């Protein structure tokens, strides 16, 4: 895979953002398959298994297959795409977020970042992408979107996207922030992650916030999004069905029918 170095970038747009990256000759970025918005002449595309880090580190075909298998496990594509500037002048390539929200730059300097699966957009530099499982059993069974996380480690620029507005927090040692599991975007590996029950049965079933939330304990940074994709999809689905179905089901029927959504934290 082509060598990757520090690149110039620009995040443009308001609620439907895209990141435009300027590549020097020989520079490259890696992105999710299907994330490219446009690219200039002399930019060449190469499809790879996983994130390509195993090939660059001499892992061979078995290392590439292992990386691709992990990506399949978290519901991502088996393939990623490298965009390399093979010309003699600077060229631009851009990547767009798949739904309304914000794109956030997270520079890695021999460090790591944990992100909700599906939030990765693109990265430059030597960035290794692996699967991160939560350390506690409760988090594993009831974490919803936050159950399986992606771990980004190495050096370079990492770009992730969120739904709605992104809200950053800086937690001190021992300080805890309770977050809807679908609203969690990213956090430092130093932050302890666990799942807690919301409380009483009435609150759990009819409070509209799901049965569980994520308890994030510092020290470290946490990024939260205002509009999880699951919540957006739920609203679109409700509008598609129309009001007549809601009236036919009635208030009680609607509440009982939504218990499955409550367990998953989608409402």
**Residues 23-42: tens digit of each pLDDT:** 999 888 988 878 899 999 99
Q: What is the number of structural domains in the chain?
A: 1
User: Is residue 77 a contact partner of residue 71, using CB atoms and an 8 Å limit?
Assistant: yes
In sequence order, the 6+-apart residues with CB closer than 8 A to the CB of 142 are: 195, 211, 212
Reply yes or no on whether the pLDDT at 48 is more than 90: no
Residue 235 lies in a domain: no
**Residues 56-108: tens digit of each pLDDT:** 444 444 444 444 455 555 555 567 889 999 999 999 999 998 888 999 999 99
Residue 237 lies in a domain: no
Single pTM value for the model: 0.74
| Segments forming the whole domain that contains residue 168 | 8-225
Tokens of 42: 């002399």
Alpha-carbon distance of 80 to 29, in angstroms, equals 11
Alpha-carbon distance of 29 to 229, in angstroms, equals 26
Residue 233 lies in a domain: no
**Residues 222-253: tens digit of each pLDDT:** 999 998 777 666 667 777 766 545 444 444 44
Q: What is the CATH number of the domain that holds 210?
A: 3.60.160.10
């Amino acid at each position: 895979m082509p060598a990757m170095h520090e690149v110039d970038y620009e995040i443009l747009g308001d609620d439907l953002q895209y990141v435009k990256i300027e590549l020097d000759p020989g520079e490259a970025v890696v992105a999710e398959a299907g994330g490219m918005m446009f690219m200039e002449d002399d930019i060449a595309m190469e499809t790879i298994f996983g994130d390509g880090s195993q090939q660059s580190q001499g892992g061979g075909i078995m290392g590439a297959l292992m990386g691709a298998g992990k990506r399949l496990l978290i519901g991502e594509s088996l393939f990623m795409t490298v965009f390399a500037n093979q010309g003699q002048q600077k060229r631009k390539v851009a990547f767009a977020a798949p739904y309304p929200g914000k794109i956030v730059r997270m520079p890695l300097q021999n460090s790591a970042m944990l992100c909700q699966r599906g939030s990765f957009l693109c990265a430059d530099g030597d960035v290794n992408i692996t699967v991160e499982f939560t350390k506690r059993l409760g988090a594993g069974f009831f974490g919803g979107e936050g159950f399986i996380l992606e771990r980004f480690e190495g050096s370079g620029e990492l770009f992730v996207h969120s739904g709605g507005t992104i809200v950053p927090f800086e937690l001190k040692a021992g300080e805890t922030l309770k977050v809807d599991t679908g609203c969690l975007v990213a956090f430092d590996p130093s932050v302890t992650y666990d799942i807690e029950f919301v409380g009483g049965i009435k609150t759990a079933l009819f409070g509209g916030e799901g049965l569980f939330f994520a308890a994030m304990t510092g020290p470290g940074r946490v990024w939260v999004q205002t509009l999880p994709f699951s919540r957006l999809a739920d609203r679109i689905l409700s509008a598609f069905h129309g009001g007549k179905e809601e009236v036919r089901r009635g208030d009680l029927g609607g509440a009982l029918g939504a218990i499955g959504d409550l367990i998953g934290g989608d409402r």
